[in-house]
Amino acid sequence: MSDKAERRAAREVVAAYHEAELGELVARVSEAVDRYRAGELDAFDVDRVLFQYSRAARELWKYCNYGQVEIAAEVIRAQPSCGWWERGAPRQRS
């Protein structure tokens, strides 16, 4: 396989991964909004979810877009899930 074809294949792996993981993050936001509409959460609870989503999505974006795409694709193939939602959690202050 040529270098160009390998990069294209790697980009496809990373893009599919990014979309799937982002979809899971968006689903968490959707769930929070639905719970807000049902009266189970207040606006501050939803705001916390949105904040965590923003941080998690930013970390996911950096992971998928910084560095060499071939390396990211290899890491994704070896260990597909990274727990992006947890990575977006606010840091606990001591």
Helices 3-37 and 69-78, packing angle to 10 deg: 60
Q: Please give the pLDDT value at position 94.
A: 64
Using the CB atoms, write b or e for 63-92: b if 16+ within 10 Å.
bbeeeebbebbeebeeeeebebbeebeeee
Q: Please give the pLDDT value at position 85.
A: 92
Q: Please give the pLDDT value at position 67.
A: 82
Query: Going residue by residue through the chain (94 aa), what tens digit of pLDDT does each one get?
Result: 678 999 999 999 999 999 999 999 999 999 999 999 999 999 999 999 999 999 999 999 999 998 889 998 999 999 877 889 988 988 877 6
The residues spanned by each domain of the chain are 3-80
At position 84, the amino acid (one-letter code) is W
Q: Please give the pLDDT value at position 12.
A: 96
d(CA 28, CA 55): 13
